[in-house]
Amino acid sequence: MTAQRRHRCGKEVGVRLAARAAYVLRSNSNSADTATKASPELYPHQWSWDAAFNAIGLASVDLPRARTELDSLFAGQWLSGMVPHIVFDPSAGGYIPGPDRWACARVSPDAPAGVLTSGICQPPVHAIAVARLWEHAEALGPDERVRTLVWIRALYPKLLAWHDYLAQQRRHRETGLIEIFHGWESGTDNSPRWDIPYSRVQVGDDLPPYVRRDTGLVAEPSQRPTDEDYDRYLWLVEEAKRAGYDTARLRPTASFRAGDVLFTAIFASADESLARIADDLGEPQAAVLRGRAAQSRGTVLRCCDPETGLAADVDLRTGEWLRTETIAGFAPLVAGGAPPHLRHRLVEQLLGPRWAGHPRLRWPLPPSTSPFSPAFDRRSYWRGPVWPVMTWLLTLALRREGEIAAAEKLTAAGLDQLGDGTFAEYYDPFSGEPCGSLCQSWTASAALDWLLADPDVPVQAE
Ligand code: 9WN
């Protein structure tokens, strides 16, 4: 690594924080040093969208290892093209539901041979990560450039298959939204976004017993979803398993079906990244990918509330709009290309009193649910805490959309929040206390990217 870097929080502090973040991220590597645990104890396996965020963090300090991160994840890709939400480390254990409960290879011919995975997916941040890795490679000089290009060429068909799976099997015909069958697929598990669809999930009498482990691994069990939530989560796994994790079979019987606006927005942005990759590789799919990204962006815009600009999800079992004030409402910023008046409205909202400008906040950062929402709960997982990885996603989007001042504001506050070096999974927005898992990999990645990534400034020696 070279010494020359951009520091946004004072040089000394920045160097120390970056060193600690790099240490946390690298310490969370599995024993083979091929994949990063989402966190040391609570999540001792590789999660799908975590792997993408972590590859971005790793790229600031070790580009080859960042490439390996994504290779390991895609080793678990299904024949259908789906990238599973967890790739299990057989030597790690300790997570409920584990690979036996998912039983993917037993029920689906699409499950990969020799790799243990879950049977559902998460938002497709991966192509966005690959584009970021490519920026790093370009800044590092010819050797890394060539190596990374060769790598991207090999990964490209897998990314394409993943995106095609989403477009063909998960795009809901009427709304155009990406359809999810489990809150876990949204990555925002117990967010009040899903309260209405979850309220309709009837847990079957034949739910096999299970013992939770997660509540014992956080400071207060109330920081995790409730037991009632968990019964539903495990029941939805049973439903999906009984349908062989086949969306066509699952759709008619699923008791949870939602059109996820944030997932759709991430898909739009990822298709745009993949189109740029296709251009660089001289592959012929760029125009199709751009067309699909535009379609997804159009879908997201149709979900926006005319007054606030915030986007809503849809309960696909009833057609009902799900308009809770959660961070997913900012999906149009993530999707990109929103008309200027809408973009300004959203940025105004984001920095305003219902969100990052709320007077009680410890740091001016958007909580996962607005404190004005009746569903807000400051310490409960996705129901109120600030998630640094979400702040990071918004700063990426704001910068890309030319909203530099807003991006810089959130970046500075985001770094202040991480200054205690705990790199927590989420933070109480009012007291600033770290919650959930400590040493969460994607939180460390966010810090690294904020502190070190600048395509114009080389951060690694060749
Ligand atoms: C279920 C790993 C994952 C994240 C999710 C987050 C949490 C899992 C859990 O942890 O979900 O997938 O057991 O709570 O909600 O976004 O990918 O960090």
| pLDDT per residue as tens digits for the range 260-309 | 999 999 999 999 999 999 999 999 999 999 999 999 999 999 999 999 99
- Out of 50, 110, 425, 449, the active site residue is 425
Q: Please list the ranges in the chain whose pLDDT falls under 70.
A: 1-10, 454-462
Residue 128 CA, ligand 1 centroid: distance in Å: 20
- Least Cα distance to 48 among 61, 38, 33 occurs for 38
What is the C-alpha separation between 123 and 12, in angstroms, rounded?
Answer: 36
Site to probe by mutation for ligand 1, drawn from 25, 189, 229, 441 as the one with most ligand atoms within 8 Å of Cβ, is: 189
Residue 187 CA, ligand 1 centroid: distance in Å: 6
Residue 342, pLDDT score: 97
The DSSP 8-state label assigned to residue 282 in this structure reads T
In this structure, the residues whose C-beta lies within 6 A of any atom of ligand 1 are: 38, 43, 47, 49-50, 85, 184, 187, 189
What is the C-alpha separation between 30 and 183, in angstroms, rounded?
Answer: 27
Name residue 110's amino acid. Answer: D
Ligand 1 atom closest to residue 39's alpha carbon, by position in its atom list: 18
Residue 283 CA, ligand 1 centroid: distance in Å: 34
List Cα–Cα distances, 254 to 116, 249, 259, 316, in angstroms: 24, 9, 13, 11
Count Cα neighbours of 61 within 13 Å in the Cβ-side half-sphere: 22
> In this structure, are residues 417 and 385 in contact, taking their beta carbons and an 8 Å threshold?
no
189 in catalytic set: yes
> In this structure, are residues 363 and 418 in contact, taking their beta carbons and an 8 Å threshold?
no
End-to-end CA distance of the chain: 9
Ligand 1 atom closest to residue 95's alpha carbon, by position in its atom list: 13
Residue 409 CA, ligand 1 centroid: distance in Å: 27
Give the other-Cβ count within 10 Å of 369's Cβ. 28
Residue 5, pLDDT score: 43
Residue 12 CA, ligand 1 centroid: distance in Å: 33
Taking each helix axis from N to C end, the angle separating 126-140 and 48-59, rounded to the nearest 10 degrees, works out to 10
Ligand 1 atom closest to residue 224's alpha carbon, by position in its atom list: 14
Which residue puts its alpha carbon closest to atom 12 of ligand 1? Answer: 184
Which residue puts its alpha carbon closest to atom 6 of ligand 1? Answer: 187
Residue 453, pLDDT score: 75
The pTM of the whole model exceeds 0.85: yes
Residue 23, pLDDT score: 98
Phi, psi of 147 (to 5 degrees): -60, -40
What is the C-alpha separation between 50 and 125, in angstroms, rounded?
Answer: 9
- Out of 189, 214, 272, 325, the active site residue is 189
Which residue puts its alpha carbon closest to atom 16 of ligand 1? Answer: 187
Ligand 1 atom closest to residue 382's alpha carbon, by position in its atom list: 15
